[in-house]
C-alpha cells in the first residue's frame, strides 16, 4: 500500500522560492463529484487556483508529479485524509474540504452494474481487467461460482459469453481474443497468482461435461506453472468458515493503492479502503492455509480425479478400450 499522506509545512522547491499562496481560496464546489474522475478534476481546480504546479504540490504532499497527475485524472485513489491534506495545502474553504472529503469516502467503494460494464463490449471489459492484473505485484483470487478468468478455456468462456451474457458472434470472437491476451500473464515470470477454487465449481457442468473435462485438464496444466499456486476446497469438510462470495485481491506497486474486485449477480464492486481490504486478505489467508484445503500437487491430483470421473460419464462403456 502507498504510504499515508502527511500534511507538511510549506517547503520551498529546490532552487526556487516557495509558491505564494493566498490566505484563503474563495472557490466553491460547482457540483459534488459523482466519481473519482470528477473528484480529480475538482482537486486540480484548487491546485491551479493556488498557482501551484503539479511538482509544487507534490513536494508539499511528498508525492511525485506523476502521482499528482494520476490523482487529478482519476487513475489513482486518494484517501479522504489525502483529500483533506491536498485542500488544506491549497487553502481551500473548510466547507469545501468537508464536502470533498465526504465524496472521497464514497469513492473507496465503486459499484458498477454489469450492463454498464459490458456496454462498451466484453473485450473492452477484459482489457480493463487485464490492465489491473498486469500491474499487480500479486493476485489472490477466490472463486465459488465459476472458473477464474485467467484459467478458463475458450470453450468455457465462450459458453458464458454466448449463453449467459448473451453476446453476438462478433462480440464473442472479440471477447475470446481479449481473454487469450489476458491469459498470457501466466507465462510472465514475475506473475504471482494464488487462486482458490471450491469443489462445486470444478464439478458444475453447466457448459456441458465435455467442456468441463477440457477445462479441468487446463486447470491442472496451468497449476503446474511456477506463476500459479492452486488451492481447492473439497465439499466434504467441516471448515469453520462460510464460503461467502468470490473476489480478486490485487497487491499493487508501492505508488498505487491495493484493490479488491467482487463480482455479484448484477454488479461489480471495487473496494480500495485499507480496512476492508484487510478483511479479504484475512479470509484468503485463512482459506488457503486451512488444513482441509488441498494445495500443490494434492490440488492438481484432485482436479485430475474429477476430470477422470467426468470423462467416465461421457464414455461409460470405454473403460480399458481404445
229 or 272, which is more confident: 229
pLDDT tens for residues 68-90? 998 888 878 888 888 999 999 99
Is residue 10's pLDDT more than 60?
no
Residue 321: what pLDDT? 56
Is residue 21's pLDDT more than 60?
no
Structural fold of domain 110-314: Endonuclease; Chain A (3.30.870)
Structural fold of domain 1-107: 434 Repressor (Amino-terminal Domain) (1.10.260)
Is residue 25's pLDDT more than 70?
no
Is residue 16's pLDDT more than 50?
no
pLDDT tens for residues 133-189? 999 999 999 999 999 999 999 999 999 999 988 889 999 999 999 999 999 999 999
Is residue 35's pLDDT more than 80?
no
Residue 7: what pLDDT? 36
**Which of 66-80, 102-116, 234-248 bottoms out in mean pLDDT, i.e. has the lowest?**
102-116
Write out the residue limits of the CATH 1.10.260.40 domain(s) in the chain.
1-107
CA distance 141 to 264: 15
Write out the residue limits of the CATH 3.30.870 domain(s) in the chain.
110-314
pLDDT tens for residues 279-305? 999 999 999 999 999 999 999 999 999
Amino acid at each position: 500500500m502507498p504510504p499515508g499522506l502527511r500534511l507538511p509545512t510549506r517547503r520551498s522547491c529546490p532552487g526556487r522560492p516557495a509558491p505564494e499562496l493566498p490566505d484563503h481560496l474563495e472557490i466553491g464546489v460547482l457540483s459534488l463529484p459523482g466519481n473519482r474522475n470528477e473528484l480529480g478534476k475538482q482537486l486540480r481546480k484548487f491546485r491551479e487556483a493556488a498557482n501551484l504546479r503539479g511538482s509544487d504540490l507534490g513536494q508539499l504532499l511528498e508525492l511525485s508529479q506523476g502521482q499528482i497527475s494520476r490523482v487529478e485524472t482519476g487513475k489513482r485513489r486518494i484517501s479522504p485524509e489525502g483529500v483533506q491534506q491536498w485542500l488544506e495545502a491549497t487553502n481551500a474553504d473548510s466547507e469545501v474540504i468537508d464536502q470533498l472529503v465526504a465524496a472521497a469516502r464514497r469513492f473507496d467503494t465503486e459499484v458498477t452494474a454489469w450492463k454498464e460494464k459490458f456496454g462498451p463490449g466484453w473485450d473492452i471489459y477484459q482489457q480493463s481487467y487485464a490492465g489491473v492484473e498486469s500491474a499487480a505485484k500479486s493476485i489472490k483470487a477466490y472463486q465459488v461460482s465459476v472458473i477464474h478468468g485467467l484459467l478458463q478455456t475458450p470453450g468455457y468462456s465462450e459458453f458464458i459469453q454466448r449463453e449467459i451474457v448473451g453476446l453476438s458472434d462478433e462480440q464473442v470472437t472479440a471477447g475470446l481474443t481479449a481473454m487469450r491476451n489476458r491469459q498470457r500473464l501466466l507465462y510472465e515470470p514475475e506473475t504471482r497468482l494464488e487462486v482458490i477454487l471450491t469443489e462445486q465449481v470444478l464439478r458444475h457442468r453447466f457448459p456441458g461435461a465435455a467442456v468441463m473435462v477440457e477445462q479441468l485438464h487446463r486447470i491442472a496444466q496451468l497449476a503446474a506453472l511456477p506463476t500459479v499456486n492452486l488451492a481447492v476446497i473439497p465439499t466434504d469438510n467441516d471448515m469453520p468458515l462460510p464460503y461467502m462470495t468470490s473476489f480478486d485481491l490485487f497487491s499493487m506497486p508501492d505508488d498505487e493503492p491495493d484493490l479488491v474486485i467482487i463480482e455479484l449477480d448484477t454488479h461489480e464492486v471495487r473496494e480500495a479502503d485499507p480496512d476492508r481490504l484487510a478483511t479479504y486478505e484475512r479470509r484468503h489467508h485463512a482459506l488457503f492455509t486451512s488444513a482441509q484445503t488441498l494445495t500443490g500437487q494434492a490440488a492438481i491430483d484432485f482436479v485430475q480425479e474429477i476430470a477422470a470421473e467426468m470423462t467416465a460419464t461421457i464414455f461409460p462403456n470405454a473403460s480399458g478400450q481404445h
